[in-house]
Amino acid sequence: MAKIEANKQLKQYLKEYFQGFFPPAGPRPKVAWCTSVGPAELLISLGFQVYYPENHGALLGATRAAEKYIPVANAGGYSPEICSYLTSDIGAFQQHETPLKEAYGIPSVPPPDVLIYNTNQCREVQDWFAYYARSFKVPSLGVFSPWKIDQLNREQIGYVSHQIEAMIPELERISGRTFDLDRLKEVIALSRRTSDLWLEFLQTARQRPSPITFFDGCIQMAPAVVLRGTVAAVDYYELLNREMKGHLARREGAVEKEVVRLYWEGMPVWGKLRFFSDLLARFGANAVASTYCDSWIFTDFDPADPFVSMAEAYTKIFINRSERVKETILAEKAAEYEIDGIIYHDAKTCPYNSNSRFGLPQRVTAKTGIPHLIFDGDVNDLRCFSEEQTTTSLESFVDQIKENH
Ligand code: SF4
């Protein structure tokens, strides 16, 4: 079975990234917190070290610490029904705790100088960052994106790109640096290269058997999220893809006997990655592709046109598209990865990235003939998830596919 050796280097890259917020000597860098699909390139170009609270939320989920912190935020008035990244992150902050201490030896989450969000993904990010703006007494600036778009038009792109550009004077004031267009172009070029390499990694799953699983993708995506726009991300994915060439040449599958190829739609269940990966492998199934991992592919980035291409790339993300566009993308992905079945995760605290509530699975099945399964769960709140129920329904779903093979 394919085992990814680059994981050791991944840990080192992430350690350097997190420790970079607290240099042993010299002045502390200016820190910007940013939503995962916010305009990070602009922040990097102005010399900010960029920290992503959603990545911290995912870490709280993956380490199962979320279970301890969600009730803390709930007690402070943050509903159990809103984003569990948000509630676990705010709960941990209120307890002055973070798994980053143990993992990377840093004393706390890095205190921000500014908070930057983009509403392209959901409404929660504005209130999530407003909490920290009050706590740290720093500004929180937002990009307000048009929602659920079908075809993106020039007015919409202009609306977003002008908002990103309009942040520059305030960011210059906070960073103490002057905006440099050439530096922004360099950063965009690095993000684009990262995106291309990330896509190359994900596309290794087109081979049968696939050398990777969706769960590998959830781990390997970290540099695309937190290091995009830097040389480190490019270096890491070049190294990873060199290794993947070997796995492909030896035709090593990530799952011992890949009989059924699945598509994972929606968010991961962070506290259950191992559970799902073992379960699917036991059934001879592999989740080879997903919209979640694809969310960090930004083929629109163009260094020659930085603001417009950033606006395009960040507004066109899957989560922000009309159901009609989502239907088309899912059908195309299913054909590209030779998918036998689609599983939809209905994440109870993330309605924005749960695409099973308005008939989409049924329409995609009617269009493609590919069967689907919807299961209940959540990104971080494991009270919404049942191992028993999910095991039973996944097993019969995979059995049905095998019978029809
Ligand atoms: S998209 Fe979902 S998981 Fe992500 S921040 Fe918004 S509500 Fe939370």
Kindly give the distance from the C-alpha atom of residue 34 to the centroid of ligand 1, in angstroms, as a whole number. 13
Kindly report, residue by residue over 181-240, the tens digit of the pLDDT: 999 999 999 999 999 999 999 999 999 999 999 999 999 999 999 999 999 999 999 999
Confidence of residue 405 (pLDDT cuts 50, 70, 90): confident
Closest among 267, 202, 209 to 241, alpha carbons compared:
202
Kindly give the distance from the C-alpha atom of residue 289 to the centroid of ligand 1, in angstroms, as a whole number. 20
Q: Which of 56, 352, 380 to mutate to test the pocket of ligand 1 (most atoms within 8 A of CB)?
A: 352
Say yes or no: CB of residue 54 within 6 Å of ligand 1: yes
Exposure string for 293-332, b = 16+ CB within 10 A, e = fewer: bbbbbbebbbbeebbbbbbbbbbbbbbbbeeebbbeebbe
Confidence of residue 127 (pLDDT cuts 50, 70, 90): very high
Kindly give the distance from the C-alpha atom of residue 379 to the centroid of ligand 1, in angstroms, as a whole number. 9
Say yes or no: CB of residue 122 within 6 Å of ligand 1: yes
Kindly give the distance from the C-alpha atom of residue 4 to the centroid of ligand 1, in angstroms, as a whole number. 28
Say yes or no: CB of residue 82 within 6 Å of ligand 1: no
Say yes or no: CB of residue 379 within 6 Å of ligand 1: yes
Residues of the chain with CATH 3.40.50.11900: 188-404
Residues of the chain with CATH 3.40.50.11890: 26-182
Q: Which of 34, 118, 122, 291 to mutate to test the pocket of ligand 1 (most atoms within 8 A of CB)?
A: 122
User: Mean pLDDT of all residues in the chain?
Assistant: 97
What is residue 28's predicted lDDT score, i.e. its pLDDT? Answer: 92
Kindly report, residue by residue over 269-316, the tens digit of the pLDDT: 999 999 999 999 999 999 999 999 999 999 999 999 999 999 999 999
CA–CA separation, 228 and 272 (whole Å): 26
Kindly give the distance from the C-alpha atom of residue 378 to the centroid of ligand 1, in angstroms, as a whole number. 11
Kindly report, residue by residue over 326-362, the tens digit of the pLDDT: 999 999 999 999 999 999 999 999 999 999 999 999 9
Say yes or no: CB of residue 83 within 6 Å of ligand 1: yes
What is residue 288's predicted lDDT score, i.e. its pLDDT? Answer: 98
- 188-404: what fold? Rossmann fold (3.40.50)
What is residue 333's predicted lDDT score, i.e. its pLDDT? Answer: 98
Q: Is the pLDDT of residue 2 over 90?
A: no
Q: Which of 33, 147, 379, 384 to mutate to test the pocket of ligand 1 (most atoms within 8 A of CB)?
A: 379
**Ligand 1 atom with the shortest distance to the CA of 84:** 8
Q: What is the mean pLDDT of residues 118-124?
A: 95
Confidence of residue 51 (pLDDT cuts 50, 70, 90): very high
Q: What is the mean pLDDT of residues 71-90?
A: 98
Kindly give the distance from the C-alpha atom of residue 336 to the centroid of ligand 1, in angstroms, as a whole number. 27
**Residue with the nearest Cα to atom 8 of ligand 1?**
83
- The type of residue at 242 is R
Kindly report, residue by residue over 366-394, the tens digit of the pLDDT: 999 999 999 999 999 999 999 999 999 99
**Ligand 1 atom with the shortest distance to the CA of 82:** 7
Kindly report, residue by residue over 223-241, the tens digit of the pLDDT: 999 999 999 999 999 999 9
CA–CA separation, 274 and 279 (whole Å): 8
Confidence of residue 152 (pLDDT cuts 50, 70, 90): very high
- 26-182: what fold? Rossmann fold (3.40.50)
